[in-house]
Structure formats: structure tokens, C-alpha cells
């Protein structure tokens, strides 16, 4: 009986300490923080193939717009992302990532700034 209790406790400990996402990969939930001429915070998920895609309503120049973010993180940690509004590319995000965080720049028309990201 004691062996069963210990085994069950050990099993629960192992299962609860494991993440559903790999810790030695980019895969998982991230928070992206844009700063500069436009500031906003986004949560997004990097999938198993190191890509991400999400849409967020942003407030720019007095109106709400749906912005679509589509990007990839390459094996060396290079991040590239295009931002589309109404079917037109309006900005690019680029930089470097590791398995825990990242940073870089973004440029869109006459607007620009920096970004940071943290894996949750």
C-alpha cells in the first residue's frame, strides 16, 4: 500500500512539473511588447513548426483596426513577422529570440520602435 501511495505521489509530481510545451524550443505561449511610435502588448502562441499567426484589434490614428501578425522563428533564433491591415502590409517586425525571451525592432511607414518578448 505504501508503495502505491509513493508511486502515485511520484507520478503526480512528474506530471505536474512537465509543461505541455518543450522548454528547449520556441514552442509555447509568449508575450510581445511593442514600444516606440506605437505601444501595445500581445499574447501569442508559437507552434511546433516555430511559426505564429494572430489577429488583434489595435487603436491607431483615432480608429480601431484589425491587424494580422504572421511570422516565423528560424533555428538560429531569427524572428521575422509581417503585420497586415486590410490586406496590406503595414509593418515588419524583426529580431532575435532564444528559448526564454527576445528583442528587436519594428518598422511601419514613418513609425518605428523596439520590441521585447518573454515566454510564459
pLDDT digits (tens, 9 = 90+) for 45-91: 999 999 999 999 988 888 999 999 999 999 999 999 999 999 999 99
Query: What's the domain count of the chain?
Result: 1
Residue 31's pLDDT is: 97
Assigned domain for 10 exists: no
How far apart CA 76 and CA 17 sit, in angstroms, is 28
- pTM of the entire structure? 0.76
Look up the CATH number of the domain holding residue 53: 2.40.128.120
In a domain? residue 50 = yes
CB-count burial class (<10 Å; 0-12, 13-18, 19+) for 63: exposed
Per residue in 94-110, pLDDT (tens digit) is 999 999 999 999 999 89
| In-domain check, residue 43 | yes
**Can you give the residue range of the structural domain that contains 107?**
22-119
Q: Which pLDDT band, with edges at 50, 70 and 90, does 18 fall under?
A: very low
Residue 2 lies inside a defined structural domain of this protein: no
Amino acid at each position: 500500500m505504501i508503495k502505491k501511495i509513493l508511486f502515485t505521489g511520484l507520478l503526480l509530481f512528474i506530471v505536474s512539473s512537465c509543461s505541455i510545451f518543450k522548454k528547449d524550443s520556441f514552442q509555447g505561449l509568449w508575450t510581445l511588447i511593442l514600444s516606440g511610435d506605437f505601444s501595445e502588448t500581445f499574447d501569442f502562441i508559437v507552434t511546433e513548426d516555430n511559426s505564429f499567426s494572430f489577429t488583434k484589434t489595435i487603436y491607431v490614428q483615432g480608429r480601431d483596426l484589425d491587424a494580422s501578425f504572421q511570422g516565423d522563428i528560424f533555428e538560429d533564433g531569427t524572428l521575422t513577422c509581417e503585420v497586415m491591415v486590410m490586406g496590406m502590409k503595414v509593418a515588419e517586425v524583426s529580431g532575435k529570440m532564444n528559448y526564454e525571451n527576445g528583442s528587436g525592432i519594428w518598422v511601419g511607414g514613418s513609425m518605428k520602435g523596439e520590441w521585447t518578448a518573454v515566454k510564459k
